[in-house]
A and B are shown apart, each in its own frame.
Chain A
Amino acid sequence: MEIYLLILLIFMIIGSIIAIEAKNLLSSVISVGVVGFCLSIAFLMLGAPDIAITQVVVEILILVVLIRATITMDNTAIEEGGGTFPFVTSLIFFGLFLFFAFFALLEIPRFGEPLMRVSSEYLKTGPEKTGATNIVTAVLLDFRAYDTLGEATVLFTSIVGAFGILRRRGRKHKREIDTEKVGILEDADIKKDFKGF
């Protein structure tokens, strides 16, 4: 089991290297799609079928939205001008991060032996207390329903924020407002003395 996950992770790393370094924007978007599908297979192998279903569908929608953003510009080839200074600096700092992370990762429980203090209670008493047989849904909507309310609020906020940015107030409307009579200039006395800018 671990060997399959290792192969999938190596595929994901190769796919993301292609996504980062490709010169054509459309190629990098497609490589991100490959990373997402490999991730969904990894979720299925790790015993999480709900997450695998969600990841496949959300992956497709992410691809559609990103391609919509990419074809705004007519030519999808870009000029890369990263330079050597960002490359070398980030290599040093991220190398240091990975070096210390290696020692930190030795402290958490080994892969395959999780520390299930709260979850063992959920697994033991879940079906009786809630009546649901899907323990993940029971955790999400009965044991931790307040957190789900918070998550629904975050989703709602991000959608409302995106609407606020995309509200339609184009050049044409602005021109109309500029030539319209704004409130204070409609007053007759002020308009008499007012000669213009």
Chain B
Amino acid sequence: MILYFLSLVLFVMGLYCLVAKKNIIKKIIGIVIIEYSINLFLVLIGYRSGGIAPILLRGMERSEIIDRGVDPLPQALVLTSIVIGLGVLALMVAMCLRLYEKYKTFDMSEINKLRG
């Protein structure tokens, strides 16, 4: 229970970094921290006490996996989510490089000014 709460605290810190900082790279770092915290939360939900990984090895009894295996469904979700996070980060950095080419700065308050 305290573990769920701490991972939500990590989420809130990433959200603060996304909202309240001016530099674009800091905002991207905030999004990365949000992704980490949510992946951790999903895997934490599926943990079983004294659990082993859901992989059947040679010479293992079937009942051992059924009694002690952790939940395989959140793990399948998180596995693809991590790789998709890499793709989305590449997209954000591409946008950031284009903004730098046009405005010559990473500062968001300069980019936000309307130019008449």
Contacts and interface: CB of A to CB of B under 8 A. Distances in A.
Determine whether A and B are in direct contact in the complex, meaning some CB atoms lie less than 8 angstroms apart: yes
B26 to A, nearest CB: 7
B13 A13 contact: yes
Contacts of A78: 23, 106-107
Contacts, number: 239
A155 B21 contact: no
Given A46-B47, A65-B89, A155 B71 contact: no
B83 to A, nearest CB: 6
Interface string B69-103: 11111011011101111111111011111101000
B23 A25 contact: yes
A62 B65 CA distance: 34
A158 B73 contact: no
A159 B9 CA distance: 31
Interface of B: 1-10, 12-17, 19-23, 25-26, 28-30, 32-33, 36, 39-40, 43-57, 62, 65-66, 69-73, 75-76, 78-80, 82-91, 93-98, 100, 106-107, 109
21 contacts: A1-B49, A9-B6, A19-B33, A20-B16, A28-B25, A29-B25, A39-B40, A47-B48, A61-B86, A66-B25, A81-B109, A90-B20, A97-B12, A101-B5, A101-B8, A112-B49, A114-B47, A119-B72, A123-B54, A135-B65, A155-B83
